Structure 1
Amino acid sequence: MDPSGGFAQFVRGLGGEDRVLLEALGLARGRGLPKGDGVWTAIAEALDPSGSSFTERDIDALLERATEYVAEDFEHHQTVYRLALPEFVRSFDASFDDSLNDGFDDGGIDERHTPITERLIGFDGELPPYSVFNLAGHAARGGAAAWQLLADHPQILDRLDPGSVASQAMASAFGVFPLPAEIVGVIGAAEPLHDLPPHDRIGLRQLSAARHANTPIPRELDQPSDHATWTLRWALLYQRQPHLLLAGHTGGVTALTTFPAPDGRTSLASGDGSGTVRLWTPPATTPHAELTGHQGAIHAITPCEGDETQTLLATAARDGTVRIWDPTTATEVANFPGHGGYGAFTLTSIPEIGLVAGSKDGKIRIWNPTTSPVDHSTTDHQDSVQEAASPASIPDISNPAAVPIADRGIPAQHRDGRRHPDRGASAQGAERESPVPDGEHAPDGVPVSDGVPVSDGVPVSDGDRVSDGDRGTSVPGADRRVRVRDIARRASAAYLELTGHTNFVSAVTAFQDSRGATLIASGSYDGSIRIWDPATATPPSALGVVSTASTYQDADGRELLATGDSYGGIRIWDPIDGTLLIESTDVNRHITAMDEFSTSDGRRWLATGDKQGGVLIWDADGNYVQSVLDPQVGGVTAMTVFQCPDGTPRLAIAGRDETVRVWDPIAATLQAELPGHSDGVSALAVLPDPDGQPLLAVAATAGNIRIWDPATSTVRTTFPLEGVLALCTFPEPDGTPFLAAASTDGTLRTLTLSGEQQLLTHPGTIFALTSFSTPDGHLLATATGDGTLQIWNPATSTPIAELPLGLFIASITPIGNALALTSPDGILVIHPRIPTWAVSSWGRGR
């Protein structure tokens, strides 16, 4: 009996307006529609082709007539209404699924939800709770057009629940169609956005879009929120592609494969170092089953055929066994021992032959996964077997001993210098070196942990090429990136990258989801599995690690931004829109410091210091002029510029030999030496003396800040402070100079020449510090290791703004009314929007 039969008859008997109100209820997202805040009537008006208007009285009349078909529920602190049975909902939405996992809805596009999205976006005033949590659900069903509508109204987008936007966007669009940058920005920063008030989400969303959607300049640049603490002007960052994160492993993922689920979808099986195998069915992000029994790390997993075309899973582990599992019941059905002390390291299932396992002892064993063990072993290999042949490479299937091992190929070079074999077809980490007992060394001298070579605590892989499909070839690697060799785009880039893992990528495979989208799954020693859309892969950045920046005036007097990076790149940018004006990549040195200066003839110059100990001088056109420092003094750790009373420039340079040297940068002559800074110098700053003589503040790594008079090479005063990483200076309104010092213990102090100190409590180690001016006074900006930028009022010793950037900031450079930040992830320029009331007048609190 069809339980919806009576409902269908009831619907046919309704008038047009009542039917539209009921249809709105059938298309509701979440647990249902509220009655009293205009949402239900708004959705009905979006659905009604006649353009009728609806009132709450109309809803009451419908509820009275439809009592047996409508149920009350409760969501977001209010009563909501929904159709009582899933069969009733399917009368209006045939794709409705009442067994959704993790809130994912891949029911396809329903164009009715696009006008619903548009109507809900048009709400005036405060958004109702239904819109905050469920508007994204309507956009998901509306498809690309509906998501674009929402992206075109960022002031509404920032008021929605970020988690709902992210989950609905990934469920509806991931691998199917590209999302607007504004939506991708929410996906990439959903968790930190949730912790911010809606009015202050714009800057972080813009930054996330620059990082995850490759949009350096936000579309709403000229329409910032009136109440936002900060907005992004532009950013050039290493890309981090949106992806699904499958978390559940307690250790590193060591093996990964795909297999067909009974319902026709593609499932994943992953193994880890503890011997546990977990089963997943994306887009669900939690495992639906675990296979336990192995007593050592999983080396390989492969699907194989059971009786009557049943799909089984074969796993090989360090305990020396190969086990066969039924994934539908999560039970072990067979166990094949005898693979030596380290077990089989590769598995493949070959039709009409069986399960083929290659082991450390140099043998290949062939098993029938549905019968008792029969060992067909080859004994030609004197060392470990790391890759098994594909069926196409087997010349004689009647003779198991004739099964060849795939040729390791000609060693090739990754960009990072690591070698990898040119061939291979396993997604199970077969690219690793032969297993070696813990504490011993692989043949190349690399220490080994759990049989895997380790370098600086991170497992190292040769990076075999492992899976290919119609969208490229996936390559795992030890640099924590998945590379995609895309034939169609090879002319513009040697390879593309997918970045997000935080440790060695151990396994990669490709599969098609239920909508036919080709996706990439990767496993890593960070304990995660990540699902990627290969269409979002991007070329590698040529920026290197951007470590330092400075303002820079060109010949026309424009204030520009200069940056230096670890590849030796020196670039001059337009700070307004990020246009690259000048680029020099011929230095081939790691730039560690830079500053600008002028000469008496009005010409502007740029000085750069590098890790090799050189200091180079550049003219306003970006041309290298000369070197002023012998590289033999060691790498440059800090550098600053000051002018003598007669207007001639001086360049103070700190090297690794614990001495600060003062140079005439134009004549390239040494003017003074300031020695005795234990363990080197971490920071320099120029502090004007009341009599007009420039003084030099020098922070030693081992402790103490010394104030030097460079004209006489004498110390004026010493502050016994340890662990100072950054210095800057700023004046009070009466001209009194102050020095700010940031330390590794999280303290931020302001100091005067008379010895007065004021402590600003600061959470975390401060790695970057600067002062900048506003119309109402000077402020301090600090950056900590957790990616937080804080703005401080030194007059009141209190923070007035906190910006959760999520990026490690290496330097902060004021430029105009903006702050330029450099990071290992790239460059960004932000506009702090500090209200006047937050900048107290000087003298208060002192």
Structure 2
Amino acid sequence: MKRTKLTYIMCLLISCLLLSSSFAQEYAAQWHLPEAAKARLGGGKLNNVIFSPDGTRVAVATAIGIWIYNAHTTKAVSLFSGIQTGEIDKYLPTKPPEALTFSADALIVASAHGNRIYVWDTATGTAFAMLDEHPDAIKAIALSPDNTKLATAGGDWIVRMWEVSTGKYINSLRGHSGAVNAVAFSPDGKILASAGARLRLWDAETGELLNADNEDLGSIDHLAFSPDGKVLASSDGWGHRVHLWDVETSTIQKRLKKHTGKIRDIAFSADGRRLVSVSSDAMRVWNVSTGAELKSLPTPQDKHAQRVPPILKRKELDKAYLPNRRDDVHSVIFSEDTKHLISASKDGSLHIWDVEKGLYQSSFSLGAHSDLISVLAFSADGKYLASNDGFEERIRVWNVENATQHAILTPGQGDFLNPVREITVSSGIQKVAGRDYEGTIRIWDAATAAQLSTVVTDKLQRYWPLVFSPDQKILAGRERLSSDNIELWLIEHGAHLSTLKGHKEAVSEYTFSPDSKIFVSGGGDGTIILWDAETGDQRNSLTGHIKSISALAFSADSKTLASGSGNEIRLWDVHTSNLMGILDTKLNVQALAFSPDGKRLACGTEDGRIQVWDLVPNFQVHSTFTGHQGSIYVLMFSPDGKTLASGGNDGTVLLWDM
């Protein structure tokens, strides 16, 4: 009976774990939600990717925190974004860490932000130590193999040792004559290597200098010990060189010089016989004993972008299709059997390579990490929300109800030399537009990915942002170099409709009225011009702002225009051009959006705050939301007005309950 009960409990446990795993990725993005936000879409703009030494975990530093992923399942297991130390709440700085490292067993992560260090438990996602007494910005950190010591280094020429469990300072290692960019413990923890222009080896217990090499090697920024601790590899980044050192004598044994780009990472195989070095030009595999190059990856054919279906629906997303290039490697590690390499790219993707054949095998995606968000569009029923991905060639479509990624639209996958960039999406998620490097603007049906029309422009002219009229008939764009003019094209045939000339300074913002009859543009001198969208005739100009126009938005009935400039918002009667009111936001305005009933106006600022103003009966702030890191670039209410979506520089979309 006891055995039956135990078996039942184990089965229940396993099923719960499986259920947890299947839902983990869906709800991981909801960890550490800002107050008043009901969902987060995306994991944030990616800054750095590193593997744990044992290859079981991947740390992804983003604008909103540090994600820890299971390298085998690609599921998120932790998000480091806020901590509590003692009785005082302390939060991560707005920018990602300058240095990041795993412990040998992947149980601990240390991150450096300016002159402050956090030590995290990867299982719980909490920080158990914080070191904030470092006198200079930290450039390099390393954890000892037994997780008891932390070494830090920076621009003040000194290497410092700390006790991990308490954050207590131990001692300082002095002997460098310049900035220290890299530190690493030997596998047995007895030796600490540090390097800037020159290499130093220290007794990790006593701090005694063991060996010093005085050859100037430029600027060493990566160090890695072989598994047996007898060989030390160093790379000098922009010098494009890798050096192999004999640890006992502290002398260079091999100089590896075939890289032509900045070296980003180095790693030994588990048997110590091979070393891989990564730069912008290639991943190179070396024979450690001879210094001979064994392989150079990727091969020319593998450098090309991975082709994927133009519309990836949920079932394909679960199979981890990748919509980006795989030669943009920032971190790499050998598999335990040394037969494969696993590389990580800056778009949050993992790629597996066959070392012997030198060929690419497969890819996996770590969450949905986007670049800056500047375009949002709800479906007509409000069930889905589309967002752009900076200047990448994709639109992400999200299920609003469960805050999961529903689809990725990549209709304009160009070839390697003519990729499509600067993708935008129309209201209702009906059409998608983007421009390739040859200068052609392409317009597709969002539901089928069928190309509807093209607009041929000069190759040297880049029109951005591209803005659809709400009725899907007109596309607007501003040429970046001579940006005092705006071009309008007819979507159906791609024909040029009109050139809008009237601004004396560069055009900074523009949009269409909801009824598609009026086009409005704002310039660097604070002037706003209203145009007839069909004829291109100037209807009126609005003056009063003294700074550049940073945001424009119409009310749903097209009768009221809101304009943002500096720390003020002005409300205008579109028919009479009369000023209706001025709102003092105290902060620089970056985005505006009216609620569908016109009773509220949302304002996004450059410091990531959102103010929601009541417009009836009086102008007053109804609520203030904080949660984005950096500027907010776009705001949009759902069709029923119950949800406010915000996107910005941190690469996330936040949904707020209205």
Establish whether TM, by shorter chain, passes 0.5: yes
Distance in 1 (alpha carbons) for counterparts of 2:142 and 2:571: 58
C-alpha displacement at 1:390, in angstroms?
8.5
For each residue in 1:356-392, what CA deviation from the matched residue of structure 2 results, as whole angstroms up to 9, or x when unmatched? 9999999988686xxxxxx796788698999999899
Cα distance in structure 1, aligned partners of 2:219 and 2:540: 71
Where does 1:103-502 land on structure 2 (aligned, <5 Å)?
188-190=81-83, 242=125, 244=127, 249=134, 253=138, 256-259=141-144, 266-285=148-167, 287-298=169-180, 301=183, 311=190, 313=192, 315-316=194-195, 318=197, 320=198, 322=200, 324-325=202-203, 327-328=205-206, 330=207, 332=208, 334=209, 336-337=211-212, 339-342=214-217, 417-422=280-285, 463=330, 465=332
Q: Alpha-carbon deviation of 1:713? A: 1.1
The answer for the alignment partner of 1:200 in structure 2 is none
* Rounded Cα–Cα distance in structure 2 between residues aligned with 1:548 and 1:778: 23
In structure 1, the partner of 2:655 is 830
**Coordinate RMSD, CA, aligned:** 5.8
- Residue 684 of structure 1 is matched in structure 2 by 510
Residues 638 and 654 in structure 1, CA contact (< 8 A), matched pair in contact too: yes
Please say if 1:785 is aligned against 2:606.
yes
Q: What is the alpha-carbon distance in structure 2 between the residues aligned to residue 558 and residue 312 of structure 1?
A: 59
| Aligned twin of 1:798 | 620
Is the CA contact (8 Å cut-off) linking 1:257 and 1:269 kept in structure 2?
yes
Matched-pair contact (CA < 8 Å) for 2:384–2:399: yes
**CA 423–297 in structure 1, closer or farther in 2 if over 3 Å, else same:** farther
Question: Does structure 1 retain, via aligned residues, the 8 Å contact 2:227–2:270?
Answer: no
Give distance in 1, aligned partners of 2:513 and 2:231: 78
TM-score by length of 2: 0.57
* Alignment of structure 1 residues 573-584 onto 2, 5 Å: 573-577=398-402, 578=404, 580=406, 583-584=409-410
- Match of 2:375, SS? strand
CA contact (8 A) 2:274 2:285 kept: no
Task: Answer 1 or 2: which has greater helix percent.
Answer: 1
Which residue is 1:202 aligned to? none
The match for 2:588 is: 765
Please point out which of 645, 650, 653 is paired with 1:820.
645
For the pair 1:631 / 2:421, whether they are aligned, the reply is no
When residues 789 and 339 of structure 1 are mapped into structure 2, their CA distance, relative to the original with a 3 A threshold, is same
Cα shift at 1:769 = 1.5
Partner SS state of residue 177, structure 2: coil
Matching residue's letter, 2:550:
L
Q: For residue 568 of structure 1, what is the aligned residue in structure 2?
A: 393
Give the letter for the 1:270 counterpart.
T
CA contact (8 A) 2:384 2:400 kept: yes
User: Is the 1:642–1:651 Cα contact (8 Å) retained in structure 2?
Assistant: no
Aligned to 1:74: none
Name the amino acid aligned to 1:788. Answer: R
| Residues 484/363 of structure 1: CA separation in 2 closer, same or farther (3 Å cut) | closer
Aligned to 1:739: 561
1:782 partner amino acid: C
Match of 2:518 among 682, 690, 695: 695
Give how far 1:539 is off.
1.9
Tell whether the 8 Å contact from 1:659 to 1:674 is kept in structure 2 after alignment: yes
- Cα distance between partner residues in 2 of 1:388 and 1:695: 57
Structure whose CA Rg is larger: 1
| Cα distance change on mapping 1:741 and 1:335 into 2, 3 Å | same
Amino acid across the alignment from 1:729: F
| 1:551 pairs with 2:551 | no
- Deviation for aligned residue 1:316: 4.9
In structure 2, do the counterparts of structure 1 residues 257 and 563 end up closer, same or farther at CA, with 3 Å as the change threshold? closer
Equivalent AA in structure 1 for residue 214 of structure 2: H
Contact 1:779 1:791 in 2 (8 A): yes
Q: Residue 495 and residue 756 in structure 1: after superposition, are their counterparts in 2 closer, same or farther (change >3 A)?
A: same
- Alpha-carbon distance change, 289 to 653 in structure 1, aligned in 2, over 3 angstroms: same
- Retained in 2: the 8 A contact 1:592–1:636? no
Is the 1:661–1:674 contact (alpha carbons within 8 Å) kept by the matching residues of 2? Answer: yes
Give the one of 400, 420, 427 matched to 1:589. 420
Gaps of 5+ in 1: 1-143, 160-173, 197-239, 369-374, 395-405, 426-460, 497-537, 598-603, 834-846
Name the CA distance, whole Å, in 2 between partners of 1:758 and 1:472: 68
3-state SS in 2 of match to 1:327 = coil
SS at match of 1:810: strand
**CA distance, structure 1, for counterparts of residue 337 and residue 224 of structure 2:** 24
| Kept in 2: contact 1:821–1:828 (CA 8 A) | yes
* Residue of structure 1 equivalent to 2:491: 665
Amino acid at match of 1:422: V
- For 1:672, the aligned partner's letter is S
Cα deviation for residue 716 of structure 1 reads 1.7
Against the structure 1 CA distance between its residues 278 and 669, is the aligned structure 2 distance closer, same or farther, given a 3 Å change threshold?
same
